[in-house]
Structure 1
Amino acid sequence: MCDASDYAIGAVLGQRKDGLVHVIDYASKVLNDAQRNYTTTEQELLAIVFAFDKFRSYLIGAKLMIVHKAPWFADIANFKCSDGVLRRCVSEEEGRGVLWNCHNSRYGGHFGGDRTAAKVLQSGFFWPTLFKDAKELVKSYNECQRTGNLPKRNAMPQNFILELELFDVWGIDFMGPFPTSYANKYILVAMDYVSKWVEAIATPTNDNKVVMNFLRKNIFSRFGVPRALISDGGSHFCNRPLEALLLRYGVKHKVATPYHP
């Protein structure tokens, strides 16, 4: 008697006497990584080969009977084809069901014939007239024919996504006033929009001179001139000296909407 599982195979050698089977020997083996990838049929056949090899000295010259749990073993033994690989054939009714699910179900997407056939292949099914059947299904499906393709004339224009590099865009703002500490009451904070890198200084005032010096010493000289600077509409950011500085360096100043930076 032979049997196989996903991880091991086993065999029992017995002798029938007075209608009862008496066990002579047991044998088992753990499957290796390659054998675990075998199909169920191949693992079952591997168990038989293993039993023959293990009990060879008992079986030579003796009449024997193999007891196997698979009732279709005789069909497997007599199966013949060009490459010897067993395949499960998809019936016509099953093929229609597979096509319907790959086209009309919630995960189908109602795609065209070629795309629907590709989904069938991805699901692990194939038959010679697959692409032809898929196109016929799409042509005969009422809802798809009524909807058709969306006209490009009424489609919304696609806008290009702005590509940013590190330190291309900075956001800047004041925090405070806080209780005085070492003569400082405010914190000027700038953050890079891509890397989220933060630069900050403590300052006694929150005027435009502090902002201009901060940009020169902490941003422009260390990270290069950015493409844009985003701030709120406070007077320390929206003033002529700062606008002149940004214009000189070619930095675009963007003012954020209140409460929506």
Structure 2
Amino acid sequence: MPVKPPNFLKTGTCGNHMNELVQAIKILRAGYFWMTMESDCCKYVQRFHQCQIYSDLIKVPLSELNAMSSLCPFVACGMDVIGPIEPAASNGHQFILVAIDYFTKWVEATSHKSVIKKMVADFIRNNIICRFGIPEFVITDNGANLNSHMMKDICE
């Protein structure tokens, strides 16, 4: 009868396991061993959904890499929100609003208690436009706070 790995090894402190070898190593480091451990890990990883999502993509067909280039600083920049961060900062801020220039890799970041549309618009105006000029492209993940009418007004 196969032995199930202990519950704390399923996600653990370092997140999900990547493949059966990593799972077996985690079990060994925790002080467990059984004769069919490697085959049990193979079967477990094949059934566990999160293992399949975060597994090594060795057998994926090759695809061409697209280099992102820019002609000068802050012509194209990417924006995203990091968070919520636990524990919160001493001032209560849990989110970080980040903009990265694709030419120089310069990072502009500010922390906030919550990231609303007005804060994003103020961030673009004060930290990007006033300091570096108007960017031609602002690439986001289409989050509601990053893709709003206020952003469109600023871009126009």
For the superposition of Structure 1 and Structure 2, which TM-score range results when normalised by the shorter chain?
0.5 to 0.7
Structure with bigger gyration radius: 1
Aligned position for 2:22: none
1:101-250 aligned within 5 A: 164-178=71-85, 179-181=87-89, 182-247=91-156
State the number of aligned residues: 87
CA RMSD of aligned residues (A): 1.7
How many angstroms apart in 1 are the aligned matches of 2:115 and 2:96?
8
1:109-163 deviation line (CA, Å, top 9, x unaligned): xxxxxxxxxxxxxxxxxxxxxxxxxxxxxxxxxxxxxxxxxxxxxxxxxxxxx76
Shift of 1:244: 1.6
Aligned equivalents of 2:125, 2:148: Cα separation in 1: 17
Gaps of 5+ in 1: 1-161, 248-261
Gaps of 5+ in 2: 1-68
Q: Which has the higher contact order (CA 8 A, sep 6+)?
A: 2
- C-alpha change, 1:172 and 1:163, in structure 2 (3 Å) is closer
Give me the whole-angstrom Cα distance separating, in 1, the residues matched to 2:150 and 2:142.
Answer: 15
- TM-score calculated relative to the size of structure 1: 0.32
Moved over 3 A (4+): none
Q: Counterparts of 2:151 and 2:104 in 1: how far apart (Å)?
A: 25
**In 2 relative to 1, CA 163–216 (structure 1 residues): closer, same or farther, beyond 3 Å?**
closer
Structure (1/2) with the larger strand percentage: 1
Q: Who is 1:140 aligned against?
A: none
Q: Please report the TM-score for the alignment, with normalisation by the length of structure 2.
A: 0.52
In structure 2, distance between residues paired with 1:180 and 1:166: 32
